Structure 1
């Protein structure tokens, strides 16, 4: 291998031990046709056991050469040597790295293709990630060169001035059978390009046998085969590479075209192109250079498989260049994300438990002697350990959470501005989702963002909180500082994560600190990577970027211009709670508030922290706002009236933060919740009447005590009803009834409910009314006992039933 390749391997991102999961064997599925020259496998595992070397250099294995035709004194035809180039395949070991086709799967790896330099031939041909379902898939392989180790041999037979092509079925038969491939093609084989002439692989006394070398020849007039996914086109393009999905063993993938190679072989006028699915022509698969001028040779790939319930189709989603080599998330322009629905029948007969092979194939050209090796470093194995990381940075002073989207989305919409002096919390949440093994021996390498002073007063730089309730301190001794000021935590977890032998599926790493900026300008803090390397799985993430604002020498003042307390009528129809605020500055030059600047209010009510954002409408020295608190509360999914109970006073505290991160004082609003309306009845415990002689013929018997009934109302007109039961003593009944008597009428109350008092007024304060006073009870009026005649001499008793109700015309 070249020194450049060795350097690339030595700088590969951390990968798993390849020998634990991959098998490399010579192919046995080769065609019996002697013109098929791809008999060997150039792949091997690097000496550090971390990299698959699929193809290296331009050398052709001797098994792929042909001998000269015998004849005397000169051979009938010459030997054909050094044409196949280097090509190879590495397949998963079905005991340790199988792929269940009927279950969602994820794998991730780092790919390296070469520098490109002045020509794409320096990093051609390319490689492919392949899924295949064959009885002994470890010995499957296709053709090299444009075949990338996975596609068929496009045998073109030439005799004199005539050219004939192998059938599409014959080409497909020499590919990896029952397969689906995601190709990363670093060199386009187009018949219109003079750089890539046909390649003669064999010759005999009658014929010469070629690859037309035209798999990427484009033709927009040829329709896609029936049953192929949407966005399928013939051929490909793209300088320094393209990405596409293909069906290698489907004859419909290979399409014969008339070609123009008159510059080389006048009679070679036919060749095969290939149908490419979801072709990404903008994929730059060559090495790049980072902001510091360092060579970046490795490209990250995350590949996901989601089968349908009926196992007829599957969705393949992939993200290319989704991470930088240090493990940080990349959401920049050179990232590619795609989702493709594929036909699972391409894998042959599949059940939900089918274990299929997956692996990588690759090939080099033999045009450029400096062609780079095709390299793969795998960091996660399908279904072995499925894990994820959610990373956030929280400004706990402002309750502002900032995060990055690991799947390439837009992430959060937070403004990502924090003030110097704000309390900060870094949170790395590792979640084991499922798998055949626990995530074992996890070693964390966390590079901390700058411009945060981290808390180590207790001797620890952070804490790991496990799902099982246990905590694990990360000692400050795990922290080191580089010459450029970057701080790195290197720490190995004491617990594995999982549900097999491990007792926790989640580990939450929490690191606290304080944002600091002592300069007179805002500081943009770069994202920093974190890599969590287990013996059987590797995951990486990065912190979001944010800005620490420079310290301001002015203050923001918030006042409450409202009358204290603020009255709120409990459950009043269409009730609102609009709180007025007034803001001004001390020590800031005009304009103090600038049009369109955001103002962020932090609100605390009960045990809930809420926010409200507004925008300055025009330049001003003083800013007055109204916070629609009920709307804010209900948008947060909270029940408004549960926060403001009847007949209680609730405190609401508010502070404001301006566009520069300056935080105001906190001001308090006392919200006095008053009843919507009130109606209460109180009656004395006993009504007693005077004693009389049983022979008495007195018509009305007066009350013997000062009996009274009172009604308390608030915003509620009312009516009072009363009824009386008969007066009895055992089986004896009093010969008379209880009545309500006034100057004009007498109303019998015994067994006859009657309204005896009312008030149609609504009072804004609680008002208590005495019925005896309202009705002007005297000795001869009010509740009396009417005597109808003789009764046995006994003590009689009964029951008065009082009922208070809304007035007829009230609410």
Structure 2
């Protein structure tokens, strides 16, 4: 709301607001073209509204028609929607009222949907507007006597000062009965308030205690209970100032730092219920102005007292608005006008593969399922038939459409096909060839048939709201959403043999695992269990895939009882059939394993102790998933006698971790609980050589010569110890009984490489990383360790030297 002109105090506030408006750069002149350019879908309003004729009403109110591209037109054949201007400048008061033939019937359920534009003034905006239902005797001339915070409908909280300094003077209305006479009579109003009036003085106090936020609220403008009187003394002696705050019913707080005057179109829906306890539900921002997608919005519900209208049926309705020093461009566009066309559209999605299962609201289907998308468009009455209906059908992703038809029903029947090649941006636009009315076709059923695409994972599919835009009503369907189950493989784990005592029941438990991973939605997956081919039970699978079911003892016989398990999910995917046994008989053996649950190093001997009440007990161990190995057999002539044993694990266990499982099975085929121990085989480090490097006998050469060995030579390495390894070689000098040859022992990797002299320091010749298989390092007779014969040092004799090979390991960090 804003501030009324005419007093010194008011003029001062007007200056402040004008200053802030100049900072924001708001201009109603440039605002109007922007609003028109962004105008959403709507209908034409020819003959629906008339400009109010009340006292002080401005000439701003007007209606313009637009083309589909939002160009203003005077050609009725080109127009597809209309925009109504309420106010667009300072100090205005305006109203538009329904014509006599387009009244609001308070004894019928009514729906109205519209777009409102409240300027782009943000904090500098004022004052808003109101949607009004009224039965004021003034009819089309009904208007509040004031502007600003009245919004053209509420009472005018100001009146000339009365009395004198001798008798006492008052400013404002002392009695609320006098105040309400200045409002629109016999009315209910929904205000869109863009300006806060909380200054605690006349014509600027309606919003006291509301927190200063833009808001929506409703009430009865001519009802005394709508206003609360406040008063305070004046600086002028013997003068009392009276002013009023307004009670706000159905309050929708638009929030701090958020403005209704934000340069955006806001969608508003009103639903009036006449039956029972009459009520009005109103919502704002429940639709996206650019995409038309449904939004949660903000909603309020208020009771409606029909007696306030002093009417038995039809009343006038429309919009009022007023501005003070603050102002904005206030515009309205309609989708549904109360009573003009009563229509609805409902979308339903069914899975015809699954016996016409309704999957509209979060249903579950499988890849390749056949789907039917049916939108029922219904005309249920109104003053006009629904004309020129253009359907904008949203096409869901992940579905391949096959065909489309429209069938008309009512007093007559007709049909037409939909060309599926005309899909653009996920939408099919189709002009229905027939209008809808109560006289011929009251229903149009649009059916799109298609197939769910193959999906590799669960995929949520949205079938968005479709819109049906006629020249006199716009209706939107509901959205649909369903999930296509990804192609998956289900497996079961934990289906094992079970041993129970005679007279006891058995618990079958397991886990369902999906190849796609994830959880199993509650109530969607089951496990079918059959015991002995004559007892069946079904278990619900939890969200973690686990299930459990008890089999009563009277369904089990002594000995083995075969059982099968098969799981099925919500998409019809199944596991294979898993089979195991429930063994009913004597007690199972009681086993104790020393070091059970611990980790030990090889070499290691298992030590175990067992008791049982059967004639014979066999002890087994199993390395991982390998073949079980029989360790021991105990004769057990005395029940529950303790038997102990030990078994040395093989020396040739491979390097690494071995999980050893130990269990006992008695002669009644009862198996003990298993116990495990982890054995670590740390790996080895070692090398072996052929022993002797034989160079044979040779003549002393006449120049320095490299002597080859008589045979090839190799070193075998064991490097399974984790880490990295290095191989080094060193050698002593060649010596005989009386002679020493220095630097004669050399090494080269291959025959063509340069040779290096070996000494006792050692030469690293090879490196590598740990591996489980042995490594053989070979050299032919012209490579590896050789002799460099220098004739100047050699004397005829027999020489020997000691060659040392060293293999070292560096552990992994």
User: How far, CA to CA, are the matches of 1:266 and 1:455 in structure 2?
Assistant: 85
Gaps of 5+ in 1: 31-37, 59-84, 193-197, 199-210, 219-235, 290-294, 404-411, 558-580, 604-611, 627-654, 668-811
Compare relative contact order (CA 8 Å, sep 6+) and give the higher one, 1 or 2. Answer: 1
Instruction: Assess, with a 3 A threshold, how the Cα gap between structure 1 residues 623 and 359 changes in structure 2: closer, same or farther.
Output: same
User: How far, CA to CA, are the matches of 1:129 and 1:299 in structure 2?
Assistant: 14
Q: CA deviation at 1:113?
A: 1.8
CA offsets, 1:683-739, max 9 Å, x none?
xxxxxxxxxxxxxxxxxxxxxxxxxxxxxxxxxxxxxxxxxxxxxxxxxxxxxxxxx
Residue equivalent to 1:52: 84
Contact 2:490 2:574 in 1 (8 A): yes
* Correspondence 1:325 to 2:289: yes
Residue equivalent to 1:191: 199
Contact 1:114 1:286 in 2 (8 A): no
Residue equivalent to 2:103: 98
Residue equivalent to 1:342: 304
Residue equivalent to 1:713: none
Contact 1:445 1:491 in 2 (8 A): yes
* Correspondence 1:215 to 2:140: no
- Give the alignment's TM-score, normalised by structure 1: 0.53
Q: After the TM superposition, which residues 604-753 of structure 1 pair with which residues of structure 2 at under 5 Å, given as runs?
A: 615-617=540-542, 658=569, 661=571, 663-664=573-574
Q: CA deviation at 1:245?
A: 1.7
Contact 1:215 1:272 in 2 (8 A): yes
Residue equivalent to 2:31: 4
Contact 1:598 1:614 in 2 (8 A): no
Contact 1:593 1:616 in 2 (8 A): no
Residue equivalent to 1:271: 243
Contact 1:190 1:216 in 2 (8 A): yes
Instruction: Assess, with a 3 A threshold, how the Cα gap between structure 1 residues 261 and 662 changes in structure 2: closer, same or farther.
Output: farther
CA offsets, 1:446-468, max 9 Å, x none?
22222222114xxxx34435356
Q: Secondary structure at the match of 1:325?
A: coil
Q: CA deviation at 1:419?
A: 4.0
Residue equivalent to 1:170: 178
* Correspondence 1:256 to 2:213: no
User: How far, CA to CA, are the matches of 1:597 and 1:182 in structure 2?
Assistant: 45
User: How far, CA to CA, are the matches of 1:514 and 1:265 in structure 2?
Assistant: 85
Residue equivalent to 2:429: 490
Instruction: Assess, with a 3 A threshold, how the Cα gap between structure 1 residues 110 and 594 changes in structure 2: closer, same or farther.
Output: closer
Q: CA deviation at 1:132?
A: 0.8
Residue equivalent to 1:126: 128
User: How far, CA to CA, are the matches of 1:324 and 1:91 in structure 2?
Assistant: 27
Contact 1:593 1:622 in 2 (8 A): no
Residue equivalent to 1:507: 444
User: How far, CA to CA, are the matches of 1:92 and 1:391 in structure 2?
Assistant: 33
CA offsets, 1:94-116, max 9 Å, x none?
12x11223322222211222346
Residue equivalent to 1:76: none
Instruction: Assess, with a 3 A threshold, how the Cα gap between structure 1 residues 582 and 444 changes in structure 2: closer, same or farther.
Output: farther
Q: Secondary structure at the match of 1:346?
A: helix
Q: CA deviation at 1:54?
A: 0.8
Residue equivalent to 1:73: none
Q: After the TM superposition, which residues 224-239 of structure 1 pair with which residues of structure 2 at under 5 Å, given as runs?
A: 236-237=210-211, 239=213
CA offsets, 1:637-680, max 9 Å, x none?
xxxxxxxxxxxxxxxxxx98626x4634999xxxxxxxxxxxxx
Residue equivalent to 2:150: 147
Contact 1:328 1:542 in 2 (8 A): no
Instruction: Assess, with a 3 A threshold, how the Cα gap between structure 1 residues 593 and 444 changes in structure 2: closer, same or farther.
Output: closer
CA offsets, 1:60-117, max 9 Å, x none?
xxxxxxxxxxxxxxxxxxxxxxxxx23311110112x112233222222112223464
User: How far, CA to CA, are the matches of 1:54 and 1:437 in structure 2?
Assistant: 25
Instruction: Assess, with a 3 A threshold, how the Cα gap between structure 1 residues 248 and 420 changes in structure 2: closer, same or farther.
Output: same
Q: After the TM superposition, which residues 399-798 of structure 1 pair with which residues of structure 2 at under 5 Å, given as runs?
A: 399-403=356-360, 412=361, 414=362, 416-456=363-403, 461-464=404-407, 466-467=409-410, 470=413, 472-476=415-419, 479-481=422-424, 486-499=425-438, 501-502=439-440, 504-516=441-453, 522-526=458-462, 528-552=464-488, 554=489, 598-599=523-524, 615-617=540-542, 658=569, 661=571, 663-664=573-574
Instruction: Assess, with a 3 A threshold, how the Cα gap between structure 1 residues 535 and 212 changes in structure 2: closer, same or farther.
Output: closer
User: How far, CA to CA, are the matches of 1:534 and 1:182 in structure 2?
Assistant: 27
Instruction: Assess, with a 3 A threshold, how the Cα gap between structure 1 residues 526 and 547 changes in structure 2: closer, same or farther.
Output: same
Aligned-residue CA RMSD (Å): 4.4
Instruction: Assess, with a 3 A threshold, how the Cα gap between structure 1 residues 625 and 442 changes in structure 2: closer, same or farther.
Output: farther
CA offsets, 1:329-387, max 9 Å, x none?
6353x32141x223222212x22xx32101111233423xxx53111111212222212
Instruction: Assess, with a 3 A threshold, how the Cα gap between structure 1 residues 21 and 327 changes in structure 2: closer, same or farther.
Output: farther
The correspondence for 1:355, drawn from 307, 314, 327, is 314
Q: Secondary structure at the match of 2:152?
A: coil
CA offsets, 1:509-543, max 9 Å, x none?
1112223365x655444452321122222211242
CA offsets, 1:744-802, max 9 Å, x none?
xxxxxxxxxxxxxxxxxxxxxxxxxxxxxxxxxxxxxxxxxxxxxxxxxxxxxxxxxxx
Residue equivalent to 1:391: 347
User: How far, CA to CA, are the matches of 1:545 and 1:507 in structure 2?
Assistant: 22
Q: CA deviation at 1:556?
A: 7.5
